[in-house]
Amino acid sequence: MASINTNMSATLAVSNLNKTTDEMTSVLTAMSSGKSINSASDDAAGLAVYTAMSVDYAAWEQAGDNAEVATAILETADGGLSEIGDILERMYELASEASSGSVTDTERAYLDAEYQELVAQVDSIVNSTTYFDTSLLDGTYNENFTVSADSSVAAIAVDLSAQAYDAASLGLAGDLTSSTNAATELTAIEAAVTTVSSGRATVGALMSRFDYASGNIETAQTNLEAAMSVYMDADIAELSAEQTELGVKMDSAIQALSVSNENLEKLSRLLS
């Protein structure tokens, strides 16, 4: 039925055009952002899941940072212990020479002078082996590091408090002024070498654990990224096809609206 009061064909064309325009806007937004969800209305359930995953991902990132910091601390401590170990080797050489009957007390005094400097250097290394002003080798360091996003997983304790590595704690309090004293120092140095080696073994074991923890963190992050991609990443090929389809619909709706308005004008001219 032809009517000049109600142009139903135009009304339907406008309705379809508005609907298609909204869909086109959504497609173009997804293509420009690269995200399939740009508002809660796009996929409320998917957005909720993605948000929860984002929180987990942030927790894994922090766990990774914690593992890196712990590794850096342990590397610093190991470097200090390595230097002390090298010094102990030289101290052993000096004490061994001083304990021999082939040197005089005057020569022992020369050897002892170097020996005491090395003792002081051990203390200097202990005092300077720090991480952000926190001493690592004075027998006080004991901290925990969280290396998982799962709160039920226990933190890893970096406990270096069992042993201090200054000269006094290592039993290096003597001198080389006599063969007897030198022999005593040889025994003390051997014990100190064992102590330092044990400390390095402890540090090395912890470094190995944090290496594996870091690997686990990277795997967890990779898997989580893949899962997050399913919910958030836009399929550009699919969107391109949808854009083309919607473009055809928009052209058709505009054409239909144009024809409807043209028909109404023809009816108006007929009446006039």
- pLDDT tens digits, 98-138: 999 889 999 999 999 999 999 999 999 999 999 999 999 99
Q: Which tokens belong to 42? A: 């796009």
CA–CA separation, 66 and 111 (whole Å):
46
Whole-model pTM: value is 0.75
Of the CA atoms within 13 Å of residue 74, those in its CB half-sphere come to 26
For every residue of the chain, which 3-state class applies, written as one string?
CCCCCCCHHHHHHHHHHHHHHHHHHHHHHHHHHCECCCCCCCCHHHHHHHHHHHHHHHHHHHHHHHHHHHHHHHHHHHHHHHHHHHHHHHHHHHHHHHCCCCCCHHHHHHHHHHHHHHHHHHHHHHHHCEECCEECCCCCCEEEECCCCCCCCCCEEEECCCCCCCCCCCCCCCCCCCHHHHHHHHHHHHHHHHHHHHHHHHHHHHHHHHHHHHHHHHHHHHHHHHHHHHHHECCHHHHHHHHHHHHHHHHHHHHHHHHHHHHHHHHHHHHC
Q: Which residue segments constitute the domains of the chain, with CATH numbers given? A: 55-232 (1.20.1330.10)
pLDDT of residue 64: 95
Residues of the chain with pLDDT under 50: 1-4, 267
pLDDT of residue 241: 73
- Taking only the tens place, the pLDDT of each residue in 221-255 is 999 888 877 776 565 666 577 767 766 767 666 77
